Structure 1
Amino acid sequence: MPPPTHDPSNPSSSNYSQLPPPTHLTVDPSSSNYSQSSLPGTSPRPSLSPSEPTSFPRHSTSSSYSQPSQPPQSQSQPQTQPPTFNDTARGNNQNVRTSTIRTSTATATGAPTTRPSHQSPPHRAAGPPSTLREKIFHALPPHTGPLNVGFMEIELPVRQPRTFSHIKRNGEYALKLDTVLFAVYYPCEGPEETPKEKAMFARDRIRRCRGSGNWEGFDGTGDRQQEGEGEATGQSRGKGKKQKKNGGLTRPPWLPRPRLSTCKGYANFANMPNAPVATYFALTSMFTKLPAWRNAKLSDGPPLAGPEEMGEEALNRGFSDTSELTLVWGPRPAPDAEELRRRRAKYPVIMFSHGLGGSRTVHSTICGELASYGFVVVAIEHRDGSGARTYVNKEGSAPDLSSQNLDRRSNTEREKEEGSIFTTKRRRKENAKRKPYYMVDYLFPLDNAQDTRPHNPAGVDTELRSAQIEMRCAEIQEAFHVLNMINDGQGEEVARRNLRKKGNKGSSSKGLIGINWDDWAGRLYLEDVTMMGHSFGGVTAAQVLRLREDFTWISQGILLDAWGPAMPEDSSEEHKIQKPILALGSEAFMHWKDNFERVEKLCLEAQDAGVPSWMTTIRGSVHLAAADFAVLYPNWMSLLMKSLVNPKRAIQLHVESALEFFRMTLPEQHHSRFSRAWPFEEGLLTTTAGAANEVSFDFRPNEKWVAARLKIPHEFKLRVRSWAKRRIQPGPDVPRDGRGKPLAGLVDWGAGNEIWVHISPDKEEVPNVSEEAE
């Protein structure tokens, strides 16, 4: 498929071709029930011309509806390939996103496709090997993408230090911007495998193939079989030589350093005593590592290979011409220097903003997953008082800081030498100024500490939250400036000014040692960047989409369970969202009426501007489903928050929804090199069957627990039944992870029924799920 054409002379035109068959939500006014049905006589259509026009009507909302008497049943559903949105005009200061929608061919033979059952991704990178640490402590799952994941931390002084708002704590401004801190998750080259690691990798591939039932490649041909033979015969590079474990690469910790202090920050955020929280973290996840390599080499990208190495898989994946080049992941002969420069991949960029109590690693599973599929994800750690605890290092080298008479003694040493006067407010302020860093804890609103609760009579502290969003936007701009420096070949300057290095607070001793900055020059797509965020970070992402003149390089946004009431009110026409948006929420937040209406309004703004938007809900999920806590503590999520979906499956649904969104919104040249190795499409954003989109209130909680958790009727019976099902062979509709293991939850709805689509470009009516069930 040729790349899209651009017409800079016509920046305001919109030209859309038709989407897959539209579906209608029919409403019975007498019963206030709704159901979905396909239009009579509709069927999967062949690909349409990009020039064929269509329009996007505003989605009207219907009246309230009653609770369905029975939960929807899983059923087989037809599916067409999702449309693709590509820019036809992109100016330097583009205010309105103009796109072309195209549909891809159904299959090589032209036959209609059906929605696939749950399948594992076709290829998966080796990733860090499992160790005793993963068996003792709570562990994060390995990434399922075809690329290994690298990780680095950068903290740089901002170009213009400043404060935001007049809000003060302890006599000082609470919102100060001195430095910007972020973690970068990126595709990397894995470490050179030792013979022992090759054996572990081979056993892992055997387990995956046994679980998925796909043994193709183990029949005596193919890279996997060849690697297995090399391991079995001992003919591996480096045999007989002493090698460094994992090639000298290390894995970063999940809890940011200093880990014990971070635990205390979470205790303060949850209003709990320090000792039990720190003890529990120490016994469970204080020593958990990310499945990523610190400061690893940036991947050159997947090589291109001929169709003989793919066989029938090319046809099964929907390629009409077997001579078309396809992606193959595996060892290949090393190209010469000129060929390597020509074939190095460029990566699309995602800016990620965390929510309240978050950090640069609290969404590492989603960030790492996206990186394993070919994205560079920049996870910003905000210093606006929205995180549990973070440290800001002061600018200056170690000699400079020593010359400033900074006090590096511990608190205990100072207490012994200076006596009780140390505890006075004046002495504390003096010592704080002399430290080479300062700490930022979660900032509770005055006289309204629980402004996040749905039924809080005082509502949201708009003054504080608006100031925090303003500071967050400034941090995003500073992080993007650092990315520009790296992409322009100034990586060495970034490393020289980096404050996250040995000796500084919260830093790894490795800093940025080992990174070859020449590999990063010119390797990032810094136009058409995606803004992504969870909860309060979702509100931040929406604000970034609104500020088009300040963020001309942002082209689309993904909101993960956005906290709608914290969104600043702005009815001005110039600040309406005019870029594609995907709002992916949890069922717990769907039952929060005010929040649902705020997020719905954002999506309708985009629809009114003539750009596509989606609003979906993951069934049986809770607010933390997009965070690592759900994966690390699944039992607590199930018992306390009544989560019904398997937490790993919830992560899959987030990632696969985002990948489908990228297929339809990003320019094709940004992802065409990677998207053929993405998971098999499940049509999560193109649901067309009624049962899949019939919203249920079976698990709606009482008003007291709205947004916090779900309600499970006959809970004990359901848990016993779920336990019994996991003891038998799971059916084909049970989703699986990258290793082929089933991901069964308390309730399994089956393929095509796990997501409710409330708003999408191919719908003309949207049920108002914000109304209470009768």
Structure 2
Amino acid sequence: MVFSHGLGGTKNAYSHLLGSISSHGVVVIAPDHRDGSAPLSLVRATPGSTPRPVEYRSISHKPTSEVEEARDGQLQIRLWELDLIHEALLKIDRGEPLMNTLAEKSPETMGDLAMFSSTLDVQAPGRISWSGHSFGAATVVQLVKSVFYTSSKDAPSSYQPLFEPSTSSQIAHQITPASSVMLLDLWTMPLLSKSTRWLNTLPLPCYAPDGPGGRNVIAVLSEAFFKWGSNLNQLKRIISEDPSLDKPVVKNHPAPYVFYPATSAHLSQSDFGILFPWLTRKAFKAEDPARTLRLNTRAILEVMRRNGVEVADTSAIDMEDASGHDGVPGGQIGQDWRILQTDGSVAGWVALDLGSRKHTEEAANDETAETADPMEAVVQGEVSKTTSS
């Protein structure tokens, strides 16, 4: 799994979630993006250059042409980086040496990458899962669509691709309708720029005629993003069968999985809630951050199981199964099948119906503007809720 962090995040900000996933046998790659979205990242020294820091870029969140251009620039860097990561994974699996790594500079870690030689399931098409949080979720949506539609002849002249690999490239071989996509609190605004908007009218690769449909797509919101009505509407369209329609529909394929954990905040999918539980509870009414992350982990792992990825079983404790086992009923697939049920059998785990207006009306939040940044929207909506109570 390749995981892309959100605004203000780093590779270290999701250690609980990603560590939990990797403990089930998944190799997780979490980069620090050097697009100015991390608090601080470092471009390491090479034989021909000195190290240099990349500091956080403060960009307005109102969708003006200047802001769209700046976000496009950040996405362009992120997509290029994910392509480089994919190339590095292939080299590691083939046992080829990588240059300019910490491993080559430290005798203690010289063999760390070599142990993955011929062990990574990255050569066959569709075997890598793509995941991200907030801006990172937007990044992986842009990546899989940019790669999948790179050879499309239908693009209008106004479309300016941010990433355009050749159809014979390694990443074009990897990203297929079978590629799993995991979206945590997808921030939709970066996907709506004028230059790339055409891409947003096209469905995710999973909806291709030979694809599995939404069975390999999961979107997990926080309660805060569920209550951000305009972002929720865009999310539903983006993961629907035909994003060009105003009303999300999935008619010819299985629907994607969409859930949110009750009493969770935007930062609940990072380490923030674990590190500062009192603050998130006081400021954002976010309860039990550890359970929120367990629910996220369970759902991601179960989607992977249902799409043929071999991962370890979820423990009975994490499944909150007092009997010590979780018998699978007839017709169900997967060891932790309850986590993807839509009947409310998992407490505080709310399933959303893509085509229903019910949740959209429930989510309407007049204090959250359509053009708001995710953090502004979350703080405005949740702090208002806190002060009013």
TM-score, scaled relative to structure 2? 0.70
Q: Which residue of 2 aligns with 1:640?
A: 283
Q: Which residue of 2 aligns with 1:558?
A: 182
- Please give the alpha-carbon distance, in whole angstroms, between the structure 1 residues aligned to 2:43 and 2:238: 34
Out of 579-588 and 459-468, give the one that drifted further: 459-468
- Please give the alpha-carbon distance, in whole angstroms, between the structure 2 residues aligned to 1:460 and 1:523: 45
1:753/1:516 Cα in 2 relative to 1: closer, same or farther (>3 Å)? closer
- Please give the alpha-carbon distance, in whole angstroms, between the structure 2 residues aligned to 1:457 and 1:541: 20
Which of 105, 110, 129 aligns to 1:513? It is 110
Amino acid in structure 2 at the alignment position of 1:465: R
1:628/1:573 Cα in 2 relative to 1: closer, same or farther (>3 Å)? closer
Q: Which residue of 2 aligns with 1:589?
A: 225
Q: Which residue of 1 aligns with 2:383?
A: none
Aligned-residue offset at 1:572: 5.0
1:443/1:653 Cα in 2 relative to 1: closer, same or farther (>3 Å)? same
Deviations 1:596-629 (A, max 9, x none): 1111111213736735412211111000001011
Which of 687, 693, 696 aligns to 2:342? It is 687
Amino acid in structure 1 at the alignment position of 2:221: G
Unaligned regions of 5+ residues in structure 1, if any? 1-349, 402-435, 504-508, 693-750
Aligned-residue offset at 1:359: 1.1
Out of 370-379 and 764-773, give the one that drifted further: 764-773
Instruction: Give the number of the structure whose residues are more often helix, by fraction.
Output: 2
1:511/1:484 Cα in 2 relative to 1: closer, same or farther (>3 Å)? farther
Alignment size in residue pairs? 301
Q: Which residue of 2 aligns with 1:470?
A: 76
Q: Greater Rg, structure 1 or structure 2?
A: 1
1:608/1:533 Cα in 2 relative to 1: closer, same or farther (>3 Å)? farther
1:572/1:471 Cα in 2 relative to 1: closer, same or farther (>3 Å)? closer
Q: Which residue of 1 aligns with 2:53?
A: 439
Which secondary structure does the structure 2 equivalent of 1:659 belong to? helix
Amino acid in structure 2 at the alignment position of 1:539: A
Instruction: Give the number of the structure whose residues are more often strand, by fraction.
Output: 1
Task: Please tell me whether the aligned partners of residues 590 and 596 of structure 1 are also in contact (alpha carbons under 8 angstroms).
Answer: yes
Task: Please tell me whether the aligned partners of residues 532 and 559 of structure 1 are also in contact (alpha carbons under 8 angstroms).
Answer: yes
Q: Which residue of 2 aligns with 1:297?
A: none
Task: Please tell me whether the aligned partners of residues 534 and 562 of structure 1 are also in contact (alpha carbons under 8 angstroms).
Answer: yes
Which of 7, 12, 25 aligns to 1:374? It is 25
Aligned-residue offset at 1:374: 1.0
Which of 589, 601, 614 aligns to 2:237? It is 601
- Please give the alpha-carbon distance, in whole angstroms, between the structure 2 residues aligned to 1:540 and 1:649: 26
Task: Please tell me whether the aligned partners of residues 584 and 615 of structure 1 are also in contact (alpha carbons under 8 angstroms).
Answer: yes
> What is the correspondence of 1:34-53 to structure 2 with a 5 Å cutoff?
none
- Please give the alpha-carbon distance, in whole angstroms, between the structure 1 residues aligned to 2:204 and 2:192: 13
Q: Which residue of 1 aligns with 2:143?
A: 544
Aligned-residue offset at 1:521: 1.8
Task: Please tell me whether the aligned partners of residues 43 and 53 of structure 2 are also in contact (alpha carbons under 8 angstroms).
Answer: yes
1:370/1:510 Cα in 2 relative to 1: closer, same or farther (>3 Å)? farther
Amino acid in structure 2 at the alignment position of 1:351: V
- Please give the alpha-carbon distance, in whole angstroms, between the structure 2 residues aligned to 1:486 and 1:470: 25
Task: Please tell me whether the aligned partners of residues 582 and 615 of structure 1 are also in contact (alpha carbons under 8 angstroms).
Answer: yes
1:573/1:653 Cα in 2 relative to 1: closer, same or farther (>3 Å)? closer
Aligned-residue offset at 1:589: 1.1
- Does residue 759 in structure 1 map to residue 353 in structure 2? yes
1:395/1:650 Cα in 2 relative to 1: closer, same or farther (>3 Å)? same
Which of 16, 33, 40 aligns to 1:365? It is 16
Aligned-residue offset at 1:687: 2.0
Deviations 1:487-543 (A, max 9, x none): 0111xx21xx1243698xxxxx567334261x3222111132110000100111111
1:631/1:523 Cα in 2 relative to 1: closer, same or farther (>3 Å)? same
Amino acid in structure 2 at the alignment position of 1:484: L
Amino acid in structure 2 at the alignment position of 1:556: S
Amino acid in structure 1 at the alignment position of 2:230: D
Q: Which residue of 1 aligns with 2:128?
A: 529
> What is the correspondence of 1:97-108 to structure 2 with a 5 Å cutoff?
none
1:511/1:442 Cα in 2 relative to 1: closer, same or farther (>3 Å)? farther
Task: Please tell me whether the aligned partners of residues 465 and 566 of structure 1 are also in contact (alpha carbons under 8 angstroms).
Answer: yes
**Greater RCO between the two (CA within 8 Å, min separation 6)?**
1
Deviations 1:350-371 (A, max 9, x none): 0000001111111111111111
Q: Which residue of 2 aligns with 1:649?
A: 291
Unaligned regions of 5+ residues in structure 2, if any? 151-164, 166-170, 207-215, 243-249, 320-335, 367-389
Task: Please tell me whether the aligned partners of residues 203 and 240 of structure 2 are also in contact (alpha carbons under 8 angstroms).
Answer: no
Task: Please tell me whether the aligned partners of residues 578 and 609 of structure 1 are also in contact (alpha carbons under 8 angstroms).
Answer: no
Give me the identity figure in percent. Answer: 24
Task: Please tell me whether the aligned partners of residues 588 and 621 of structure 1 are also in contact (alpha carbons under 8 angstroms).
Answer: yes
- Does residue 384 in structure 1 map to residue 11 in structure 2? no
Task: Please tell me whether the aligned partners of residues 129 and 180 of structure 2 are also in contact (alpha carbons under 8 angstroms).
Answer: yes
Which secondary structure does the structure 2 equivalent of 1:610 belong to? coil
- Does residue 674 in structure 1 map to residue 282 in structure 2? no
1:675/1:514 Cα in 2 relative to 1: closer, same or farther (>3 Å)? same
Q: Which residue of 2 aligns with 1:158?
A: none
Aligned-residue offset at 1:766: 5.3
Deviations 1:276-329 (A, max 9, x none): xxxxxxxxxxxxxxxxxxxxxxxxxxxxxxxxxxxxxxxxxxxxxxxxxxxxxx
Which secondary structure does the structure 2 equivalent of 1:378 belong to? coil
